Amino acid sequence: MITRVVTACMLLVVVVSQDPGFNDTCVKGMYPPPAQRGVKEYVLNLDLPPEQRWQQIASEKRHEIVALIIEFKKFLMEWGSGEIITIVDFLGDNIDAILPNPYRDEIKGIANATGIYEGEIFVYNIFYELFTVCTSIIAHDSTGKMYHVRNLDFGLFLGWDPKNRTWQLTDMLRPAIVNVDWQRGGKTVFKSVNYAGYVGVLTAIKPNKFTFSLDERFSVDGGYLGILVYILEKTGSWTSLLAREVFENAIDFADARDKLANTQLIAPGYFILGGTKPGEGVVITRNREVNGTDIWAMTDKTAGGWFILETNYDHWKKPLVVDNRRDPAINCTQKMGIQNAGFAGLFNVLSSKPVLNKLTTYSALMEVDSGKLETWLQYCPDPCEPW
């Protein structure tokens, strides 16, 4: 069975592995970062046939996608996850039958635009489904304005570069990060942060409606098992594709919450969902099956009152001692205070070690009323965890 260990998504709560002797501090004055750390935005026209939608992004980012696929396949074989490669080889030309439309035709279009085999684009897409670790935060300021921020960390155990003291895959991912403005009829439906060639949604905002981030939940209830069940029985939804469907179709926060909470999945996860009003912030803890779903609201006495945050552990349990990003993030958020909640204050939290770590690829900042999405590439200078 695949061990789901590698990616991290943060909603305003997370830090990576913590050395008890490490000097964690809450930094200030980090916003705005240098302009060169900004991420390019592309328009994706949903009115186009699925095969054509990703053509510009896939063509411009072809070399980045190829390099990442090579690295992903190397990891899958080296770390005992060759089952995924076996599945792809077994299905052969029928690989596209695994996914429903429009996703399978979009993957065909990406394959055509890049010259990459469809099965490899498929592996590239499901890799994020199985290996994502994150920190996410939802907060409102003293006027009630809602913010949702997140760090996405990816690349643990994927090629340590001893000379530069960085993770090779983390370095390779940053150039592939894009902002996507999903439009229909020339108008924005929603915006997201994507790795080029990835058709699902991990971080997104629907202006004046809701915001979202997806964090990994480590569990044996999913991964390889979930994929096999899906292939054999065609039951369950891919977490990131469900999120995309919610952004295309849900009409408001409540509608989005209900769909995320009550749809059977292929893999467990944490859905972090923010709305437009104070109190409209939840962490939805999911099993593959709908039974066992937990909805934790920012109004709960165990949350922060004016904020809620999630890393990669159930909120009613203590995080692993070696991966306690939660407490430092909470500490920095509380020190920031509701009076400083906003892009600058929250970016400082995301830039504080160990919330910021060597696996952090980007920080995303979202403000639902304006529909504003900012994405900044992140780097963690030494000393920095892990390692």
Q: Which residues are catalytic?
A: 134
Residue 220 to residues 37, 223, 240, 287: CA-CA distances in angstroms?
37, 7, 19, 10
Q: How far apart are CA 260 and CA 268, in angstroms?
A: 11
Q: Six-digit token pair at 150?
A: 């997140």
Nearest to 308 by CA among 346, 343, 255: 346
Where are the alpha helices (H) located in the chain, listed in sequence order?
A: 50-53, 55-60, 62-78, 82-91, 103-114, 118-130, 168-173, 224-233, 239-249, 253-261, 326-336, 343-350
Cβ contact 143:137 at 8 Å: no
Give the integer Cα–Cα distance in Å for 348 and 356: 10
Q: What is the sign of the dihedral through the CA atoms of 107, 108, 109 and 110?
A: positive
Q: Could you tell me which of 376, 320, 363, 327 has the C-alpha nearest to residue 148?
A: 363
Between CA 312 and CA 126 the distance in angstroms is 19
- φ, ψ of residue 321 in degrees (nearest 5): -60, -35
Torsion-angle region of 235 (φ positive above 0: left; ψ -120 to 50: alpha; else: beta): beta
DSSP H helices, 79-221, are 82-91, 103-114, 118-130, 168-173
Contacts of residue 323, defined as CB under 8 A and 6 or more positions apart, other chains included, come to 16, 17, 18, 311, 312, 313
